[in-house]
Amino acid sequence: MVLRGYIYDNDGMTISMKGMHTDVSILNMHTDNIANFGIPGYQRRKPVITTFAEYLGPDGVDPVVDTTIGRLRRSGRPLDVALSTKGYFQRLMPDGHIELTRDGRFELDKNGALRSLDGKPILSSSGTPVQFTVMPTNLEKEVKISPNGEIQVFIQQTGKMTSMGKLGIANEQGTPTSDVNVAQYYVEDANVMLQDEYAAMMPLRREFESNRQLFIMQNDNLSRAIQELGRTQ
Amino acid sequence: MFDEIMRLATRNAGMQMGTLDSIAVNIANMNTTGYKTKRFEQYLNNDGELGGVNRVDMSPGPLRITRNEFDIGVKGFGYIPVTQPDGTVAYTRDGSLTVNSQGYLITNNGDIVGNGIQLPLDYETLQIHEDGRVLIKRSEKSDFQEIGRLKLVRFANPEKLSSIGYNKLVATAGSGEAVEDPDSILKQGMLESANVNVHEQVEQILRLNASLISNLRIIKFVDDLYRQSSNLRQ
C-alpha cells in the first residue's frame, strides 16, 4: 500500500503556532518597555504588525521607536541635560561610529572631557568631542548650558563666561539640527506609561490562549482523523 | 524567547535592588559628618542591555555650628589631607578632630591631620583660621602663636576618588592628583552635615517600587504563558 499526501505547510496548526510566536514577540517588546521604565531618555518600542503576519509569524512584527518626548524631571545636577524637542545627543563609540541617545546625564573626567554615564565622549556641533579648556571647581555655579546647547564656563580671572563649544544635537537620521531646546538641571523620564503597557498585555494573553486552544482542537481533530482512518475493521 | 524575557525581567529586578542599596546607605548615613550622597544610575548600553554605575554627589553639605574648637568644616570643594598610620595620605571632609597622646591633631579615626600639627601641653585656646593657620595662646595675657598650617587640596574629578571607609578617600587615576586649593576655607566650630536630600530619596523609592512590582508581574505573566505552551496537549 502506498500512502500519498503531504502535510500542508500553512495549515491551521502552523498558523496557530505562528500566532503564539507573534504574541510572545510582542510581549517581549512590552517587557523591554517595562524593564526600561526607570531609564532617563529611553524611548518605548511600539509593536507594529504588518500584513500577512499570519504567515510571517514573529518576523511580521516591527519594533517602532515612539519618539514622543517624555516628562522632564528636575534633578538639580548641573551636568544633567534634557532635550525638550525631538533630537538626540551623539556619543562617540570606541570604534569610531556615532550612537544617538536622549540620555543626557553627563560627567566631566579629570582631563575636562564631557562623557556619558558609560564613559563615551559626547560630540559637539562641530563633530569633535566636547572638551573643557578650563576645569570648573564649582559645577553648579560655574557651568551654564543655554537652551541652544552652548556650554559656558565662568572664568574667575577674567570674570567672564567663556564658551566651551555647543552640544551637537542630531535628528533621527543622524544629521545635525539646530532646532533644539536644551534644559540644564533636568533629566527626561522614559516615555513609557506602565498602565498602557499592562493594558496592552491583557488582550495579548487572551490572544495567546485562543491560539493555544485552536491548536489543541486542531491537534485533537488530526489525531482523531489518523486514528479513525487507520482503523481497518 | 520566554527565557529571554525572564532573564531581562530578573536582571532588571536585580538592578532595582542595586538602587535600593544606595538609597538605604544614604538614609543610614543621613547624620554622618561629611557624607556624600551615592546613587546608582542605570543606563542602556549599545546592545540594549541594562548597565549601572555608582555615582557620588560631591557637592558640599550644609555646615552645622557645633561651637567645639576642635571641629572644622570645609567651605568649598576642598579636602583635608590626613596621614594614616602606615604613612600614606588619604583625604577627608570630616573635620571633627581630637588630640592623641603625643599632642598631635588627629581625626576621629586616629589619622594625623596634615603633616602633623603638635599642640603643646600648656595651651589655653586653639584657633584655626579660615586660611588654615593653626594658632594657640598659652595664657590669657600672651599673644597667639602659629604652630602649623592645614593646607586644603582639591581634585580635578573628585567623583572618582575611592572611598576606603571611615570617611576617608584616596586618589585614583580617574580623580587626578591633589592640587592645593586656595578657594576653600576652613570654618572652626562647625561640621559639615551629609548632603543627603531625604525627599529625593523617598521619591526614588516610590519610583523603584513601581518598577519592581511591574517586573515581578511580568515574571508571573511570562511564567503562565510558558506553562501553557509547554502543555499544548490538553
Residue (of B211, B203, B204, B207) closest to B8 by Cα position:
B211
From CA A105, how far away is CA A89, in angstroms rounded? 11
Residues B100 and B121 grouped into a single domain: yes
What is the domain extent for residue B78? 63-192
Q: How many domains does chain B have?
A: 2
> For B124-167, how does the pLDDT look when each residue is reduced to its tens digit (9 = 90+)?
888 999 998 999 988 888 888 888 899 999 998 888 899 898 88
Measured N-to-C along each axis, helices A194-230 and A12-35 cross at an angle, to the nearest 10 degrees, of 160
| CB of A22 closer than 8 Å to CB of A60 | yes
| CB of B31 closer than 8 Å to CB of A84 | no
Residues B85 and B128 grouped into a single domain: yes
Cβ of residue A31 closer than 8 Å to a chain B Cβ? yes
Pairing relationship of beta strands A98-101 and A88-92 according to DSSP bridges: antiparallel
A&B contacts, CB < 8 Å = 112
* A31·B48 Cβ contact <8 A: no
Tell me whether residue B202 is in a domain: yes
Residues B105 and B171 grouped into a single domain: yes
SS3 B113: strand
Residues 6+ apart with CB under 8 A from B77: A137, A138, B58, B60, B154, B158, B181, B183, B184
H-assigned helices in A151-193 = none
- Residue A129: how many other CB atoms lie within 10 Å: 18
Give the whole-number percent of chain B exceeding pLDDT 90. Answer: 33
Tell me whether residue B77 is in a domain: yes
Residues B84 and B39 grouped into a single domain: no
SS3 B33: coil
Amino acid residing at B48? G
| CB of A106 closer than 8 Å to CB of B32 | no
Residue with cell 586644603: B152
Residues B172 and B109 grouped into a single domain: yes
Cα separations (Å) of B61 from A140, A212, B35, B156?
Answer: 13, 60, 8, 19
Instruction: Kindly identify which residue of chain B lies nearest to residue A108, measuring between CA atoms.
Output: B157
From CA B87, how far away is CA A57, in angstroms rounded? 68
Residues B84 and B183 grouped into a single domain: yes
| pLDDT for the residue numbered B65 | 93
> For A100-121, how does the pLDDT look when each residue is reduced to its tens digit (9 = 90+)?
999 999 998 888 899 998 889 9
Rg (CA), chain B: 25
Residue (of B180, B71, B79) closest to B127 by Cα position:
B71
What is the nearest CA distance from A1 to chain B, expressed in angstroms? 31
| CB of A187 closer than 8 Å to CB of A16 | no
> For A121-156, how does the pLDDT look when each residue is reduced to its tens digit (9 = 90+)?
999 999 899 999 888 888 888 899 999 999 999 988
Q: Please, what are the averages of pLDDT over each run of 10 residues along chain A (233 residues)?
A: 55 86 91 88 91 84 91 90 94 91 91 90 92 86 91 89 92 88 93 91 91 90 84 73
Residues B182 and B201 grouped into a single domain: no
User: pTM (2 decimals)?
Assistant: 0.79
- Residue A20: how many other CB atoms lie within 10 Å: 24
| CB of A75 closer than 8 Å to CB of A104 | no
Residues B42 and B93 grouped into a single domain: no
Cβ of residue B151 closer than 8 Å to a chain A Cβ? no
| pLDDT for the residue numbered A152 | 93
Residues B103 and B177 grouped into a single domain: yes
The sign of the dihedral angle between the CA atoms of A13, B229, B3, B211 is positive
Cβ of residue A142 closer than 8 Å to a chain B Cβ? no
Tell me whether residue B93 is in a domain: yes
What is the nearest CA distance from B195 to chain A, expressed in angstroms? 13
| pLDDT for the residue numbered A1 | 47
Tell me whether residue B145 is in a domain: yes
Please calculate the CA angle A222-A226-A228 and round it to the nearest 5 degrees.
115
Per-residue cell: B120? 603643646
- Most B CBs within 10 A among A22, A23, A28, A34, hence the mutation to make, goes to A34
| CB of B219 closer than 8 Å to CB of B104 | no
Which residues of chain A from 185 to 214 reach within 8 Å of chain B, CB to CB?
Answer: 194, 197-198, 201, 205, 208-209, 212
Amino acid residing at B155? F
Per-residue cell: A208? 495567546
| pLDDT for the residue numbered B46 | 67
| ipTM confidence | 0.73
Residues B7 and B87 grouped into a single domain: no
Q: Which residues of A touch B11 (CB under 8 A)?
A: 35
- Phi and psi at residue A151, in whole multiples of 5°? -100, 125
Residues B133 and B80 grouped into a single domain: yes
Tell me whether residue B234 is in a domain: no
* Burial bucket for residue A185 (CB in 10 Å: 0-12, 13-18, 19+): middle
- Give the residue ranges of chain B where pLDDT is below 50: none
Q: Which residues of A touch B51 (CB under 8 A)?
A: 118
Residues B30 and B80 grouped into a single domain: no
